[in-house]
Amino acid sequence: MRLGCPKCGARYEVPSAEIPDTGREVQCSACDHRWIHAAPPAVTATAPDTAPRPRPTDPNVLKILREEAQREIAAREREAEDRTGAAASRTEPVAPRRALLPEIEEPQPDARVVIAPEEPERSGFLIGFVIALVLAALAAAAYLWSAELAEAVPALAEPLAAYVEAVDSLRRALADAVNRTP
Ligand SMILES: [Zn+2]
């Protein structure tokens, strides 16, 4: 049957005949913890510290436990070696991965991302500039050819006259301002 030390968790394989149904005190040779091993292992967990420590009655059991403990300890040491070995091999790929990270970050996708929104702004500015030029040209054309436009589209005659008047007054104001300056 299988025994587990409730204190350190060491496991032992013990012949079932060695442990009667009524239970028997056993000692973990790994940590020297003693407990009464019975069919339900929960009973043993509470007893050990308060109970006086009678000696294990059967030295054979102790011997078996010791042997098992040796095997257990050896197995654990092997496990620990494996674990540290695994840990070492685990840390190894981590370092190159960390070293790789800056390389991945370096090829300036960020810089491009920053530049990207500027381009639509520039083109937006260009479009705005072109539109302003076209509007200015249209305004100039409307002013210069207001008579022709008014003839072609009679509905525009009145607003065009107002527009021409406005531009003329603006020009007069500008001319006055220029003339006034010494
Ligand atoms: Zn133990």
Last residue of a domain, one of 65, 81, 97: 81
Q: Is residue 113 domain-resident?
A: no
Q: How far is the CA of 165 from the centre of ligand 1 (A)?
A: 107
Model pTM?
0.28
Q: How far is the CA of 87 from the centre of ligand 1 (A)?
A: 26
Domain count, the chain: 2
Rg (CA), the chain: 49
Tell me the residue range of the domain where 28 lies. 2-81
Q: How far is the CA of 68 from the centre of ligand 1 (A)?
A: 11
Band of the pLDDT at 39, cuts 50, 70, 90?
Answer: low
Band of the pLDDT at 40, cuts 50, 70, 90?
Answer: low
Q: How far is the CA of 24 from the centre of ligand 1 (A)?
A: 16
The pair of structure tokens assigned to 11 is 């496991």
Q: Is residue 120 domain-resident?
A: no
Q: Is residue 165 domain-resident?
A: yes
Q: Return the half-sphere exposure (C-beta side, CA atoms, 13 A cut-off) of residue 86.
A: 6
Last residue of a domain, one of 50, 81, 112: 81
Q: Is residue 166 domain-resident?
A: yes
| Other beta carbons within 10 Å of 29 | 21
| Backbone conformation region of residue 19, classed left if phi is above 0, alpha if psi is from -120 to 50, else beta | beta
Q: Is residue 125 domain-resident?
A: no
Q: Where are the alpha helices (DSSP H) in 24-156?
A: 42-46, 59-105, 109-144, 146-152
Q: How far is the CA of 9 from the centre of ligand 1 (A)?
A: 6
Residue 153 DSSP class: -
First to last CA, the chain: 118
The pair of structure tokens assigned to 65 is 């436990």
The pair of structure tokens assigned to 79 is 């496990």
Least confident of 52-56, 123-127, 135-139: 52-56
pLDDT of residue 98: 46
Q: How far is the CA of 151 from the centre of ligand 1 (A)?
A: 112
Least confident of 22-31, 56-65, 94-103: 94-103
Q: How far is the CA of 34 from the centre of ligand 1 (A)?
A: 8
Q: Is residue 161 domain-resident?
A: yes
Q: How far is the CA of 4 from the centre of ligand 1 (A)?
A: 8
Q: Rounded mean pLDDT of 134-151?
A: 88
Phi, psi (degrees; rounded to nearest 5) at 172: -65, -45
Residue 151 DSSP class: H
Q: Is residue 89 domain-resident?
A: no
Q: How far is the CA of 90 from the centre of ligand 1 (A)?
A: 31
Q: How far is the CA of 137 from the centre of ligand 1 (A)?
A: 97
pLDDT tens per residue, range 61-120 = 777 788 888 888 888 888 888 777 655 555 544 444 444 344 444 444 444 333 444 555
Q: Is residue 102 domain-resident?
A: no
Residues in the chain: 182
Distance CA 86, CA 35 (A): 35
Last residue of a domain, one of 81, 100, 132: 81
* Encoded amino acid at 44, one letter: T
